[in-house]
């Protein structure tokens, strides 16, 4: 039998720091497998929350649920609530495009489209085709600057995005996500398939972006989590074991499992 995870108040400020995303008693099943088991977690507005845990613990399933990507996967069933600024993401949105405009997602493998660099940035903009050339260029520049890619690509905006390096492609994917002006950024191991230098550039970028965005970052890289997390959510075997501020989780975790995982990357659940 599983016990409900004990929640810790984030830095003692939970009451006056409204959660941007509030997951409560959330369950996911797929093909008879119980993938997420009564997960409750609060993701505070602004700042970086790192979701960590062993492989297969349900981290990707959790953030894919927040973007409702699992709705499209045959056999997936969910129960429980996910609220975004008080709205239920399953019942209070007329369409998925609106939800995904507000909650953007970046995946582990950079997925640029076989189009130009500029077209990739503009891809998600519903009104993109109606904009003047000057406005389109302004949006492209603004978002490429936001991911520190402008200087590298400003002279080759019409070249194919596939000609960029892996690290540049991942930053382009983040620029494409930012261009639709989301409030939440979901990132599933965005540095796992890029070189270490690009990985550090993306970390620096997230530290800048966290001033304006609520960032949920799945990472298996505990050193990265220590470097950039404001909050940490620890998951194991489909359950949320513990959550709290980086300091509380690293220095005084309540659960032995959390201490073992965060200190030694080991978990026996």
Structure tokens at 201: 């550039």
CA 59 from centre of chain: 10
191 binds ligand ADP (CB under 6 A): no
Task: Provide, rounded to whole angstroms, the least separation between the CB of residue 143 and ligand ADP.
Answer: 28
258 binds ligand ADP (CB under 6 A): no
CB-CB contact of 123 with 113 (8 Å): yes
Residues 6+ apart with CB under 8 A from 14: 42
Task: Provide, rounded to whole angstroms, the least separation between the CB of residue 189 and ligand ADP.
Answer: 8
Q: Which of 84, 189, 212, 200 is nearest to 142 (CA)?
A: 212
Please, which residue, 149 or 187, has the CB nearer to ligand ADP? 187
Task: Provide, rounded to whole angstroms, the least separation between the CB of residue 57 and ligand ADP.
Answer: 4
How far is the C-alpha of 215 from the C-alpha of 183, rounded, in Å?
9
Task: Provide, rounded to whole angstroms, the least separation between the CB of residue 130 and Mg ion.
Answer: 37
35 binds ligand ADP (CB under 6 A): yes
53 binds ligand ADP (CB under 6 A): yes
How far is the C-alpha of 87 from the C-alpha of 83, rounded, in Å?
5
> Position of tokens 């007329």?
94
Pick out residues in 58-117 that bind ligand ADP (CB under 6 A).
Answer: 58-61, 73
Chosen from ligand ADP, Mg ion, none, partner binding at 58 (C-beta under 5 to 8 Å by type): ligand ADP
Write the CA distances from 172 to 111, 149, 168, integer angstroms: 9, 8, 6
Please, which residue, 60 or 198, has the CB nearer to Mg ion? 60
Please, which residue, 62 or 178, has the CB nearer to ligand ADP? 62
Task: Provide, rounded to whole angstroms, the least separation between the CB of residue 108 and ligand ADP.
Answer: 9
Pick out residues in 148-177 that bind ligand ADP (CB under 6 A).
Answer: none
Residue 130 zone, left/alpha/beta (φ > 0; ψ -120 to 50; rest): alpha
Which of 30, 96, 125, 137 is close enough to bind ligand ADP by CB under 6 A?
30
How far is the C-alpha of 12 from the C-alpha of 185, rounded, in Å?
24
Chosen from ligand ADP, Mg ion, none, partner binding at 31 (C-beta under 5 to 8 Å by type): ligand ADP
Please, which residue, 164 or 241, has the CB nearer to Mg ion? 241
31 binds ligand ADP (CB under 6 A): yes
How far is the C-alpha of 79 from the C-alpha of 173, rounded, in Å?
31
Contacting residues toward ligand ADP, per CB under 6 A: 30-31, 33, 35, 53, 55-61, 73
């Amino acid at each position: 039998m599983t016990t409900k995870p004990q929640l810790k108040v984030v830095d003692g400020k939970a009451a006056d720091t409204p959660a941007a995303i509030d997951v409560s008693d959330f369950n996911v099943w797929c093909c008879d497998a119980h993938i997420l088991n009564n997960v409750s977690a609060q993701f505070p507005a602004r700042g970086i929350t790192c979701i960590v845990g062993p492989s297969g613990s349900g981290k990707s399933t959790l953030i894919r649920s927040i973007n409702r990507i699992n709705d499209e996967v045959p056999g997936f069933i969910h129960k429980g609530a996910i609220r975004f600024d008080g709205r239920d993401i399953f019942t209070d949105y007329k369409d998925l495009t609106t939800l995904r405009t507000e909650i953007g997602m970046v995946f582990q493998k950079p997925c640029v489209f076989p189009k130009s660099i500029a077209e990739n940035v503009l891809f998600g903009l519903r009104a993109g085709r109606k904009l003047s050339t000057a406005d389109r260029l302004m949006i492209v520049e603004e978002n490429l600057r936001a991911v520190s890619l402008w200087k590298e690509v400003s002279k080759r905006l019409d070249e194919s995005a596939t000609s960029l390096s892996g690290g540049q492609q991942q930053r382009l994917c983040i620029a494409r996500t930012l261009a639709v002006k989301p409030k939440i950024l979901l990132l599933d191991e965005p540095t796992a398939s890029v070189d270490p230098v690009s990985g550090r550039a993306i970390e620096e970028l997230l530290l800048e972006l966290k001033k304006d965005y609520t960032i949920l970052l799945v990472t298996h890289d505990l050193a990265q989590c220590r470097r950039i997390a404001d909050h940490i959510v620890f998951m194991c075997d489909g359950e949320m074991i513990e959550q709290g501020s980086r300091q509380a989780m690293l220095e005084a975790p309540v659960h032995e499992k959390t201490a073992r995982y965060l200190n030694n990357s080991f978990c026996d659940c």
